[in-house]
């Protein structure tokens, strides 16, 4: 197994298919700087203090149950040791991964954790997924069994949603913005161009795909959900739990509150701005009810011509399942319809056949590497469908080994050839018939010619299901496209290195009681890094109250807030609660 997987010590990860493991990246803990640790600590301390009255009761409990510390960025190994006890696991990835992959991880009870952490200037909110959002936001609530089952089920259903090329373009655009937003030195013009690209795509998506509807539900629940708890409204969405700014504002009258229904699936969102409205679910069980409502509308459950057309329009790997249980996985490029029914389906390129989500022996993508086509429906003038015929019935219609036959479907598709063999499912129904010297035609149109080789005809009167992705994940190498653009990691400047050294000294002093000269560090902070405020708070925390240094630090922080309105409320919040958290000696008692 991949080293990135073996390091985390959780057997739940052993079940992950290969195509998901390609998204897993090792968490290199030594890459986190003391500044990163200070950002984590500040956000967590402020969030825990603020959220203890407005977050769902499972949140604070869940922090401990999922191995998340307030003072230190979590180690994936530690998280996995704890998560295993509640039947979950976690993996580290590089930023946003494709929605289908993200949801499939959830279906395997695996949380996806972006390893990077936000910059200090984005401490309240960032559109980029980071370890604050994904570990401290997503993980704690899964300690609630009802919510954990919702997440798992959501992944199971969501990973089968049929998407479109526009969905992928939007994902790539969002990923790009999230990358450059957190990259040091990105120019404002570049951010505006990226935001405009997202807006343009969102305005021209057309009718929402199943994946778009699933993505919307995920946003309004898993990311930005509110839940009724008694008389109060509580936060449970990870985007709110990990954002100091939005968690403070979301319960105010400025944000419209709506009852959570299936309407949320049709409500788009903007990741670059605070949300103007949110949805309240009466309880976590209601989330699953709405999810099932959407699933009932999906091709996954409805099948039929509508489902096949969705796959054709998507131009992406998908599967249809016939009434016999036979599954055809590939890129569907056409469907011939007669009287609003699918008469003949066709895939292009590598295709695999399966039964019960397991590839049919001898019918993998290397065998069907140039595509697959088959008529569907019942035979003309025959009451019994082929799948319902007994061996005696099949013999009567010359559908029997060594026989030459000509069968015509209600659609007008004619199959003429020599029967070679057939395959049956566990119930004894025939699911596939192979022909030699075979011609398949519809009127004057030749759909298969004898010199093309053996013709394999799928048996099934109805398409009972159509969904995104393959029936058997092991049938294909590249199921979900891995993003080409990686997160940006630049070499730190000398100035940053100097500031990092100051943070490091303060961190060692707090954790190991090492003796440092706070006045010297404060002096360097004022002289060389006057734009920084968080280190001032860290120094104030170590400083005895009532001293000259304490007074100077408070004056510095107040002035810093006056010069930077965006951080003023954070500084004030920090100064207020640092004193409450301080020891009696530091409070001057």
Q: Give the pLDDT confidence of 489-532 residue by residue, as tens digits.
A: 778 889 999 999 999 999 999 888 778 899 999 999 999 999 99
551: tokens are 């007074």
Mean of the per-residue pLDDT values of the chain: 91
Looking at CATH, the fold of the domain delimited by 3-293 is given as: 1.10.800
CA torsion through residues 425, 430, 432, 437, sign: positive
Average pLDDT over residues 383-394: 91
- How far apart are alpha carbons 112 and 102 in whole angstroms? 7
Whether the predicted pLDDT of 298 surpasses 90 = yes
- How far apart are alpha carbons 570 and 481 in whole angstroms? 40
Q: Give the pLDDT confidence of 201-253 residue by residue, as tens digits.
A: 888 888 899 999 999 999 999 999 999 999 999 999 998 998 877 887 889 99
What is the per-residue pLDDT for 585? 46
495, 526 contact by CB (below 8 A):
no
DSSP designation for 25: -
CA torsion through residues 135, 141, 147, 149, sign: positive
466, 321 contact by CB (below 8 A):
yes
What is the per-residue pLDDT for 1? 41
Label the pairing between strands 256-259 and 277-281.
parallel
What is the per-residue pLDDT for 181? 82
- How far apart are alpha carbons 161 and 163 in whole angstroms? 6
Quote the pTM value: 0.88
- How far apart are alpha carbons 527 and 325 in whole angstroms? 73
105 φ, ψ (degrees, to nearest 5)? -55, -45
Label the pairing between strands 89-93 and 110-114.
parallel
What is the per-residue pLDDT for 205? 85
Q: Give the pLDDT confidence of 117-158 residue by residue, as tens digits.
A: 988 888 887 777 889 988 888 999 999 999 999 999 999 999
What is the residue whose two structure tokens read 């566990």?
426
Residue count of the chain, please give it. Answer: 589
235, 252 contact by CB (below 8 A):
no
Q: Is 275 left (phi over 0), alpha (psi -120 to 50) or beta?
A: beta
Q: Give the pLDDT confidence of 448-468 residue by residue, as tens digits.
A: 999 999 999 999 999 999 999
What does the angle CA 384 – CA 391 – CA 416 come to, to the nearest 5 degrees?
A: 70
- How far apart are alpha carbons 425 and 386 in whole angstroms? 13
- How far apart are alpha carbons 248 and 321 in whole angstroms? 48
- How far apart are alpha carbons 544 and 542 in whole angstroms? 7
CA distances from 335 to 127, 309, 377, 380 (A): 40, 7, 13, 19
How many Cα atoms sit within 13 Å of 467 on the Cβ side?
Answer: 24
- How far apart are alpha carbons 316 and 305 in whole angstroms? 17
Other CB atoms within 10 Å distance of the CB of residue 207: 7
Whether the predicted pLDDT of 577 surpasses 80 = no
Average pLDDT over residues 472-478: 89
Element spanning 414, H or E: strand 413-424
Q: How confident is the model at residue 182 (pLDDT cuts 50, 70, 90)?
A: confident
- How far apart are alpha carbons 30 and 394 in whole angstroms? 68
- How far apart are alpha carbons 199 and 344 in whole angstroms? 39
Whether the predicted pLDDT of 586 surpasses 60 = no
What is the residue whose two structure tokens read 């404060």?
522
461, 443 contact by CB (below 8 A):
no
- How far apart are alpha carbons 176 and 327 in whole angstroms? 36
Other CB atoms within 10 Å distance of the CB of residue 447: 19
Name, in order, each residue with C-beta under 8 angstroms of 182's C-beta and a sequence gap of 6 or more. 116, 118, 119, 122, 126, 128, 130, 487, 488
Label the pairing between strands 430-442 and 455-458.
antiparallel
| DSSP letters for 66-131 | TT--SSSPPPHHHHHHHHGGGT-EEEEESS---HHHHHHHHHTTEEEEE-----GGGSS--SS--H
Whether the predicted pLDDT of 369 surpasses 90 = yes
314, 307 contact by CB (below 8 A):
no
Q: How many helices (H) and strands (E) does the chain have?
A: 23, 17
Whether the predicted pLDDT of 2 surpasses 60 = no
Would you state the torsion angle of the CA atoms of residues 130, 132, 134, 137, taken in this order, to the nearest 10 degrees?
-150
171, 478 contact by CB (below 8 A):
no
What is the per-residue pLDDT for 447? 97
65, 145 contact by CB (below 8 A):
no
Whether the predicted pLDDT of 587 surpasses 50 = no
Q: Give the pLDDT confidence of 476-487 residue by residue, as tens digits.
A: 987 777 777 777
- How far apart are alpha carbons 319 and 356 in whole angstroms? 12
| DSSP letters for 242-259 | T-HHHHHHTTSTTSEEEE
What does the angle CA 178 – CA 183 – CA 187 come to, to the nearest 5 degrees?
A: 95
Would you state the torsion angle of the CA atoms of residues 563, 565, 566, 572, taken in this order, to the nearest 10 degrees?
90
325: tokens are 């249980």
């Amino acid at each position: 197994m991949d080293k990135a997987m073996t390091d985390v010590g959780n057997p739940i990860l052993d079940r992950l298919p290969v195509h998901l493991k390609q998204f897993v990246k090792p968490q290199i803990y030594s890459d986190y700087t003391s500044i990163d640790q200070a950002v984590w600590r500040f956000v967590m301390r402020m969030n825990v203090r603020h959220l203890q009255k407005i977050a769902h009761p499972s949140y604070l409990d869940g922090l401990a149950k999922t191995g998340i510390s307030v003072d230190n960025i979590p180690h994936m190994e530690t998280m996995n040791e704890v998560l295993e006890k509640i039947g979950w696991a976690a993996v580290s990835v590089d930023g946003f991964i494709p929605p289908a992959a993200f949801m499939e991880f959830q279906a395997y009870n695996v949380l996806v954790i972006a390893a990077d952490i936000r910059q200090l200037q984005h401490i309240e909110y960032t559109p980029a997924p980071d370890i604050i959002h994904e570990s401290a936001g997503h993980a704690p609530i899964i300690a609630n069994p009802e919510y954990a089952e919702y997440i798992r089920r959501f992944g199971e259903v969501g990973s089968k949603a049929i998407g479109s090329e526009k969905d992928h373009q939007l994902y790539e655009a969002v990923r790009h913005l999230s990358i450059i937003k957190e990259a040091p030195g990105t120019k404002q013009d570049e951010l505006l161009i990226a935001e405009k690209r997202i807006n343009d795509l969102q305005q021209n998506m057309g009718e929402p795909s199943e994946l778009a509807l699933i993505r919307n539900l995920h946003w309004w629940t898993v990311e930005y959900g509110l839940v009724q708890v008694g008389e109060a409204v509580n936060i449970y969405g990870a985007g709110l739990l990990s954002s100091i700014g939005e968690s403070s504002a979301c319960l105010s009258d400025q944000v419209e509150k709506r009852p959570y229904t299936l309407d949320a699936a049709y409500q788009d969102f903007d990741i670059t701005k605070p949300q103007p409205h949110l949805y309240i679910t009466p309880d976590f069980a209601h989330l699953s009810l709405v999810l099932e409502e959407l699933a009932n509308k999906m091709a996954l459950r409805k099948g039929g011509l509508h489902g096949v057309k969705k796959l054709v329009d998507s131009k992406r790997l998908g599967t249809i399942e016939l009434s016999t249980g036979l599954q055809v996985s590939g890129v569907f490029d056409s469907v011939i319809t007669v009287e609003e029914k699918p008469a003949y389906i066709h895939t292009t390129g590598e295709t695999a056949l399966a039964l019960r989500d397991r590839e049919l022996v001898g019918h993998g993508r290397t065998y069907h590497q140039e595509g697959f086509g088959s008529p569907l429906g019942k035979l003309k003038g025959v009451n019994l469908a082929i799948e319902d015929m007994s061996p005696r019935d099949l013999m009567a219609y010359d559908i029997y080994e060594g026989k030459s036959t000509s069968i015509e479907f209600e659609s007008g598709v004619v199959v003429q050839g020599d029967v070679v063999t057939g395959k049956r499912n566990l119930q004894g129904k025939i699911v596939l018939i192979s022909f030699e010297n075979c011609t398949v035609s519809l009127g004057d149109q030749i759909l298969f010619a004898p010199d093309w080789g053996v013709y394999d005809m799928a048996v099934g009167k109805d398409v009972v299901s159509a969904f995104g992705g393959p029936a058997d994940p092991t049938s294909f190498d590249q199921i979900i496209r891995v993003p080409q653009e990686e997160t940006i990691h630049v070499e730190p400047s000398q100035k940053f290195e100097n500031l990092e050294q100051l943070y490091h000294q303060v961190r060692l002093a707090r954790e190991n009681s090492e003796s440092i000269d706070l006045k010297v560090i404060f002096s360097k902070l004022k002289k060389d890094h006057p734009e920084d405020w968080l280190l001032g708070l860290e120094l104030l925390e170590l400083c005895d109250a009532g001293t000259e240094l304490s007074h100077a630090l408070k004056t510095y922080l107040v002035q810093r807030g006056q010069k930077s309105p965006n951080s003023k409320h954070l500084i004030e919040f920090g100064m207020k609660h640092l004193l409450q958290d301080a020891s009696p000696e530091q409070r001057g008692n």
